[in-house]
Amino acid sequence: MFRDPDFFWTMRWIRADAMGVLAATLWAVTVTHGSWAWFFALLLVPDLSMAGYLFGRRAGAAVYNMGHMYTWPLALLAIGLTGKSPLTTTAGLSWITHIAVDQVVGYGLKLPTMFEHTILGPIGRARRDRQVVERAATPANRK
């Protein structure tokens, strides 16, 4: 699946979309006069969802994916905007930015097989191991 040209084509679109979301959230923090200190302080909070992996791969993937869906930060953003709460608005924008940055760099929602398997392809050790296997399987290495 990960060597399919259509897969790479789709990945580029997902990353381009995430770049647009990233730019929009940074602009929105500026326009809403959000606190940049709070914005950066909250930026990695969604990664606390990795703690779900303490309960196994499937539970970990489910908890991680729940923390990396746009639904929750969009709801938080809507609450912040309608309630005129700058901290809540900044928190929602920070969370959205976190998800967008993850997608831009190639991290996506997790598959239940293992942490390194994402919908955007393997990451970390799984990516490195796959590259080693692919290099060994190339015709130039067979003699």
d(CA 106, CA 96): 16
pTM value?
A: 0.82
Q: 46-71 as b/e, with b when 16 or more CB fall inside 10 Å?
A: beebeebbeeebeebbbbbbebbeee
E strand or H helix that includes residue 95: helix 86-104
- Could you tell me the residue ranges of all domains in the chain? 5-141
Higher pLDDT, 135 or 70: 70
If you average pLDDT over residues 57-73, what whole number do you get?
Answer: 96
pLDDT band at 117 (very low <50, low <70, confident <90, very high): confident
| pLDDT tens digits for range 41-62 | 999 999 999 999 999 999 999 9
